[in-house]
Structure formats: C-alpha cells, structure tokens
Amino acid sequence: MREEKDLIEELYSVLKTVDDPELPSVSVYDLGMVHEVRIDSGQVNIQMVPTFAGCPALDFIELNVKKAIEELDWVEACNVKFTLEIQWSTDSITEKGKEELKKHGIAPPPENYRPGDEWTVNCPYCESDYTSMENVFGPTACRSILYCSACRNPFEAMKPVVKPLPTNY
Amino acid sequence: MNPIVETAEQAKQNPEYLKALKELLYQLADDDLLISFRGAEWLGLAPHVEEDVAYSSITQNTMGHAVMYYNLLEELGDGKADDLAHGRKVEERRNGTYLEKRNGEGKYLEDPYYDWALAVVRNFFYETFKKTKLEAIANSSYQPLAYVARKVLMEHPYHLAHWKLWIQQLQSSTEEAKNKIKQRVLEAWEEFGDVLELGTLATDMRKHHLITIGEEELLDRWQKEITEVLLDVPNATLGKRYGSGRNGEHTADLVQALDTLAEVYNSDKSAAW
C-alpha cells in the first residue's frame, strides 16, 4: 500500500502535464490554478481556481484534468470543482510557468504589482524594454498585445490581475 | 452584524432572506447579460480594429460575470443557468431599462447605424455603477456572492479604465464629438435612474446585509465618480423615462434583445450542447 503523500505527489505530477488549451506547454499547475488535491479512498477531488471569469477554456480544462487523473490505474473517479473562495491573481503563476509563457511569445505579468501602478514589459524574445502597448486587450481576456521596437516583433503579455487597493474586504 | 450565510442550503432556511438574495442576483445577472448582448451586437462594427478586439474582450468577460450570478441562482434552486438567461419572460427581467436600449438605428444584419457616443456613455455610466454596487457587495452576508464580487472587482478595473479613456478623449476632441457625447449624456440622465435602484426588496437586502449600502448612497457614490470625469454634468435629477426595470417594467427593445439572444435556444430547448 502506497502512502497518501506519494499518491498526492503523483497527482501533482500529472497536473503538471495538463496544459491550458490556449497556452500549450503551460500547465494548469504552473498557471496557479490548482488549489487543493484530496484523496478519499479511490476518489480524487480537485479544487481549482479560475483565472478570468469569462474564460471559455474553463470547461475544457475541467474535462482535461479529469481525463488525465482518471488514467492513473488506482483512481476510480476524479471530481474537478472550480472554487471562487480564493481569487486567482497573476502572482500565482510559478517561475516555470513564466518561462513557458515566454516561449509562447507571452511576457509574464509583473511581480509585486500594485493596482494603478505603471508597469514595463520586457520583450519575451530579446528582453528589451523598448516596447509599447498596442492594446490592453488581446486574443484572450488575460492577455494584452504589445510591440518590441528593438527586435521589431509583435508579442503578448499577461496583464496583471490583483486585488484592488484600498479595500475593506 | 448579520451572521454569514455560507451555502445555498443555509440561505434556503430563511424565506425572506432567500427572496431578497434572489432578487439581488437577478439584478446583477440581467444587467451584465443585457450590457453584454448590446456589446456583442457591436462585434465587427467598432470604430477601428483594436477597439473591436478590446470591446469584444470586455463583452465576453462581462458575459462570464453574468454566468456566475446565474450559477448562484441555479444553486439556490431556481432552475438551470442557461434557462434563466434565455427563457425568462420580459416581465421577470430585472435589468435597468437603459441597458436594454438599442445601439442606435438599424439592425445588426441590416444597416446597423449604431451610435458610438451611446456605446461610450452607456458603458462608462454602467461600469462606474457596477464598481460602486460590487464594492457594496464584497462584504455581503451571502458568502458565495461576496466571493464573486471580489473576483469581478479584480477584473473590472480594465473595463472601467477603457471607457473612461474613451469619454475623456471624446470630450476634448472635435465639436462634433463633444456634442454627440453631450447629447447622449443628457439622454442617459433621463433614463439611467432605475439602474441605481435596488427594487421593491431594497429594505430586506439592507436588513439582511446582502448589500452594505442603500440606494441613496449608491446614487451619491456613483454621481461623485461620474462628476469627476464628465465635463458637463446635467443640472437635473436623474430620471427613469421607461419606468423601473427592477420591477419588471421594460421596453420593446428588451423584447428584440431577448428574441435575438435566445433564437437558437428557442428553436430547440431540449438540445444537448
């Protein structure tokens, strides 16, 4: 009988292979979408955190996670549930997630961003900060469209999503 | 301080609480649904291609906000979220009447002479209102709703900033632009009143701490934020020319919106997607 800790570890290693359908090679784990993984005999319950509320990929992510986990022979069934108890922020993206984003031509979000602050975005190809914002909004809710004047490539960036300041909640 | 209600099952224990909660949820859901529908009708017609990307992104995300409220209603036993969005009758709708207003003359597929000044004024007024209302719901006694409000407030600054920029730029642009904005602001001033209302159950909503401010403060806060941006603030009381959508009073424009929105749904209500 394997210990629960090892099984959980195995589940996480599977979650690290389930990619966001709109960002192949960036896993849902690295995007910071996995909140909690629990085992109840053969049942696996996974709580996930949605990125943007209007993201149409959420249903696919739920299906893909369920499918991948259920391929493990000891798993009888996997339930995936999105919770809003925790609000996803771009700070939840892992270092690996940020590296993978860059490979897609998507600059990772700024660190320690405070609402209302200006932010600079380095080009994911050449690292130059000689860049300009073409459109805050992009092909998906979480991305903006930019242009690098150094290497003359268009690219995208994850826009910072953080809790507004000040708040009383 | 009212006790926190953590689940739908708990909310169902108190009929008065449940009724006020549902009423508030229908307002939030229907407002976002209608503003999104009118936004969706602009697809491909915005003044330039980058605006088309921006406006449709905002619209898609706002539709996602509506979905969260309909899901909360589904949890409370009011039926499936899809049916709540598509199937409810006009008199059951709780959105403010100004939000159902057509985008201008013509139809989407036939000579859509839509008015960009209306889009800018309407979205700026609405997004400012949405922020004010959600800030008063972020500490709602109904915890699932408070979580949704906090989530939406993290995404919403991008929406509001977008429309604020538009109105600021058009107000300091050509005479034609200034005039068009001015006319649409005057019009909105006669029609926006019911959006700021909480409807017949306002007292219960406050009593049960579902929302932490009342109508008067909602209006004050909204007006203060609007006044900081508008160059010409009409010197009149906000009107509600078409009655109160919060009480189920609506215009023919809502009928047109729902007929179009639910055309596919109505063609086969039992279809599986």
pLDDT in tens, B195-222: 999 999 999 999 999 999 999 999 999 9
For residue A3, the distance in angstroms to the closest alpha carbon of chain B comes to: 33
3-state secondary structure of A156: strand
* A-interface mutation test, from B57, B62, B70, B142, most A Cβ less than 10 A away: B57
- The number of domains in chain B is 1
Assigned domain for B273 exists: no
Assigned domain for B2 exists: no
Cβ contact B60–A54 (<8 Å):
yes
Helix (H) or strand (E) holding A6: helix A4-15
Nearest CB among B54, B58, B155 relative to A53 is that of: B155
pTM of the model as a whole: 0.94
Those residues of chain A whose CB sits closer than 8 Å to some CB in chain B are: 50, 52-56, 84-85, 87, 89, 115, 134-141, 145, 159, 161-164, 167-169
Q: Does B64 touch chain A (CB under 8 A)?
A: yes
Chain A to chain B, count of Cβ pairs less than 8 Å apart?
A: 76
Q: Could you list the residue range(s) of the whole structural domain that residue B25 is in?
A: 8-267
Assigned domain for B164 exists: yes
* A-interface mutation test, from B4, B61, B82, B135, most A Cβ less than 10 A away: B61
Cβ contact A168–B139 (<8 Å):
yes
Q: Where are the beta strands (DSSP E) in chain A?
A: 19-20, 23-27, 34-40, 43-48, 77-82, 106-107, 131-135, 143-148, 154-158
Q: What is the DSSP string of chain B?
A: -PPPB-SHHHHTT-HHHHHHHHHHHHHHHHHHHHHHHHHHTTTTTSSSHHHHHHHHHHHHHHHHHHHHHHHHHHHTTS--HHHHHHT--GGG--S-GGGTS-SEEEETTEEEEE-HHHHHHHHHHHHHHHHHHHHTTTT-SBHHHHHHHHHHHHHHHHHHHHHHHHHHHHHTS-HHHHHHHHHHHHHHHHH-GGGG---TTHHHHHHTTSSSS-HHHHHHHHHHHHHHH-SS--SS----TT--GGGT---HHHHHHHHHHTHHHHH-TT---
Q: How high is the pLDDT of residue A51?
A: 87
Assigned domain for B151 exists: yes
Q: Does B273 touch chain A (CB under 8 A)?
A: no
Q: How high is the pLDDT of residue A169?
A: 79
Q: How high is the pLDDT of residue B27?
A: 98
Q: What proportion of chain B, given as a percentage, has pLDDT over 70?
A: 99
> b/e string for A114-152 if b means 16 or more Cβ within 10 A?
eeeeeeebbbbbeeeeebeebbbbbebbbbbbbebeeee
Per the CB < 8 A criterion, the answer to whether A84 and B140 are in contact is no
Cβ contact B150–A163 (<8 Å):
yes
Q: How high is the pLDDT of residue A165?
A: 76
Q: Taking CB atoms and an 8 Å cutoff, what residues of chain B touch A163?
A: 150, 153-154
Domain ranges of chain A: 4-82, 94-158
Assigned domain for B66 exists: yes
Cβ contact A87–B151 (<8 Å):
yes
Burial (CB count within 10 angstroms: exposed 0-12, middle 13-18, buried 19+), residue B3: exposed
Q: Is a pLDDT exceeding 70 seen at residue B1?
A: no
Alpha-carbon distance of A91 to A109, in angstroms, equals 8
Nearest CB among A52, A163, A169 relative to B61 is that of: A52
CATH number of the domain enclosing B164: 1.20.1260.10
Q: How high is the pLDDT of residue B250?
A: 98
Mean pLDDT to the nearest integer, B84-111: 95
Assigned domain for B3 exists: no
Cβ contact A53–B146 (<8 Å):
no
Assigned domain for B28 exists: yes
Provide the residue-wise pLDDT of chain A in tens; the chain has 169 residues: 688 999 999 999 999 999 999 888 899 999 999 999 999 989 999 999 998 887 888 889 999 999 999 999 999 999 999 999 988 888 899 999 999 999 999 999 888 888 878 888 999 999 999 999 999 999 888 899 999 999 999 999 998 888 887 777 7
For residue A167, the distance in angstroms to the closest alpha carbon of chain B comes to: 9
Q: How high is the pLDDT of residue B104?
A: 95
ipTM, two decimals: 0.89
Q: Does B40 touch chain A (CB under 8 A)?
A: no
Per the CB < 8 A criterion, the answer to whether B211 and B196 are in contact is no
Cβ contact A145–B65 (<8 Å):
no
For residue A87, the distance in angstroms to the closest alpha carbon of chain B comes to: 6
Q: pLDDT tens for residues B135-180?
A: 999 999 999 999 999 999 999 999 999 999 999 999 999 999 999 9
- A4-82: CATH homologous superfamily? Fe-S cluster assembly (FSCA) (3.30.300.130)
Q: Does B54 touch chain A (CB under 8 A)?
A: yes
* pLDDT band, residue B236 (cuts 50/70/90): very high
Sign of CA dihedral B44, B45, B47, B51: negative
Residue of A nearest to B67 (CA): A54
Mean pLDDT to the nearest integer, B219-227: 97
Q: What proportion of chain B, given as a percentage, has pLDDT over 90?
A: 95
Alpha-carbon distance of A13 to A23, in angstroms, equals 18
Nearest CB among A134, A141, A169 relative to B138 is that of: A169
* Location of structure tokens 């949704």: B148
Q: How high is the pLDDT of residue B273?
A: 65
Alpha-carbon distance of B176 to A158, in angstroms, equals 37
